[in-house]
A = this chain, B = another copy of it.
Amino acid sequence: MSTVTRRNLLGMIGTVAGSTAMYHAMAAMGHAQQSSYTGPIKLDGAPQGTKILILGAGLAGMTAALEMRAAGYEVEVLEFREKAGGRCWTLRGGDTYTELGGAVQNVDFAEGNYINPGPWRIPYHHHAVLDYCGRLGVQLEPFVQENYQAYLHRSDVNGGARQRVRDVKADYRGHVSELLSKAAEKGRLDDMVTEEDREILIESLRDFGGLTDAGEYKRGAESAELRGYDRWAGAGADGAPIPSDPVDRDEVLRSRYWEYLAANQITNHQATMFQPVGGMDSIARGFEREVGDLITYNAKVTALQQDENGVTVTWTPTEGGEQRTSTADYCVCTIPFSILSQIDHNLSSGISNAISEMPYNGSVKWGLEFKRRFWEQDDRIYGGVSFTDQAIGQISYPSTGYLSDGPGVLLGGYTWRGPESYKFNAMQPEERIEWALRMGEKIHPQYRDEYKTGVTVSWHKVPWVLGCSGLWNDRERDYADAIKVDNRVVCAGEHLSYLPAWQEGAILSSLDAIGRLHSKIVQG
């Protein structure tokens, strides 16, 4: 059914049957459906005394633990770390983190300050994460992604002078609107646009681009309402606002600042976004309150074997002690393939290919604490992201504690492009931090004076995952094999979803996997 037909149908239903009918019709037609998550999973009829062993207590593992225990299964969870959450992780003052290679970082942030080295934001359409937050009592607050007042920066543009997102956004829109308006006025679109549409188009571009009545983008009330003022409106004799000068079109195009604009507009970054109050690991703690009693911590899995009778997992306590085994009827394995590929297992060849071949994204993040929130006090930036072409990629300002005194922690860099991560991987933490300061001070000259302490996580060096998120060499070939229930074992996690690196992917993958495992179990 084409869009127009579908929309006409909806219009018709709306007219004839009233809006409630229309709403149900819309829902039925998939219009109101935005996630494969349709509410709490229902697993009925678990056979008495069936045991499930879950490997990994990240969000995928704990979702499986919570739902399978609720369904009546006996559940045991093995977790490598001393706490649950996996990449759903928050670093605070007093925490210690040891990366691969042995470098130890003692986090020295002030009370209440934190950084989320892994996932840090939740889109409005990640229904599963949001619903689990509701069920688990995790309080959410808005995460500010787009901030018109944040900066864009390129080392080779204007001698490295930063520009406000607001100015670039307004100027790009203004200039392209002016060009299109002029082309329409001159009749150059007449083979593409009807006369009626041409007039509406020209009118709409005035609105969209902040153009004058004559269709021009230039200094004046119209452009200033979008890009801001040389002197902002106030009071008194000098209270009248004074418009600002747009940047010339060729300069806007050649700056390539427009490359950054789309980043705030994609579905995964659109407003309204959320973050848990107090740090992302509030979600981990919420799950842990429910299933913590099922988890054995500090358990390093060394082998996963299955046969017609059951599953046997061999593991070693990381704090020392004898090798042990856990057995079960079935297993949900949420160990990242980067780790699982190093574990002795007898999974079938299809899934083994995916396990051994899946590369993991690299990504580096920095949490930098400064003596004061200079980005708020001096730059009037409250949350949001500044972008730069330097290897740190971006700087994100805290979406909480606005206007507070005392030290603040910003995200000093988040690079997810491979080559740059590799460069940082080779460095010791203090050197990585030095680079983040060196790059960050190009945008915020206050950096050096105000810097207090920092921590940096290079995901390729995180011992329990060795990367940030799974990639597919050949999803077409491997995906179906990797997600299927392989006799008594099913794998789950963000790497086995179409939302890699997102918590929503981990949870949806887990729900899908346990749903299929459960069906297999009850069907015998």
Instruction: State A166–B246 Cα separation when bound (angstroms).
Output: 27
Residue A236 interfacial (CB < 8 Å): yes
Instruction: State A173–B170 Cα separation when bound (angstroms).
Output: 14
**Contact among B3, B201, B272 with A144 in the assembled complex (CB-CB below 8 Å):** B272
Q: Which of A173-206 contact B (CB under 8 A)?
A: 176-177, 179-180, 182-183, 188-189, 192-194, 197, 200-201, 204-205
B residues less than 8 Å from A343 (CB atoms): none
Given contacts A14-B159, A253-B201, A480-B237, contact A2 B245 (CB under 8 A): yes
Instruction: State A420–B73 Cα separation when bound (angstroms).
Output: 62
**Contact among B34, B241, B445 with A232 in the assembled complex (CB-CB below 8 Å):** B34
Are A15 and B261 in touch, CB under 8 angstroms? no
- Write the chain B residue with the least CB distance to A146: B271
Are A172 and B208 in touch, CB under 8 angstroms? yes
Tally of this chain's copies: 2
B residues less than 8 Å from A497 (CB atoms): 233-235, 239
Given contacts A192-B179, A235-B511, contact A148 B271 (CB under 8 A): yes
Residue A124 interfacial (CB < 8 Å): yes
B residues less than 8 Å from A48 (CB atoms): none
**Contact among B194, B272, B402 with A149 in the assembled complex (CB-CB below 8 Å):** B272
Number of A residues with CB within 8 Å of any CB on chain B: 131
Pick the most buried of A239, A241, A446, A515: most chain B CB atoms within 10 A of its CB: A239
**Contact among B170, B193, B233, B508 with A234 in the assembled complex (CB-CB below 8 Å):** B508
Assuming A19-B160, A144-B271, A272-B383, what are 12 further A-B pairs, CB within 8 angstroms? A8-B158, A10-B159, A36-B235, A124-B148, A148-B271, A183-B188, A200-B253, A204-B253, A204-B256, A229-B267, A233-B498, A236-B509
Residue A214 interfacial (CB < 8 Å): no
Residue numbers of A with Cβ under 8 A of B are 2-4, 7-8, 10-15, 18-20, 22-23, 26, 30, 32-37, 124-125, 127, 130, 133-134, 140-142, 144, 146-149, 158-161, 166, 169-170, 172, 176-177, 179-180, 182-183, 188-189, 192-194, 197, 200-201, 204-205, 207-208, 224-226, 228-241, 244-251, 253-254, 256, 258-259, 261-262, 265-267, 270-272, 274, 378-384, 399, 402-403, 441-442, 445-446, 480, 483, 496-499, 505, 508-509, 511-513, 515-516
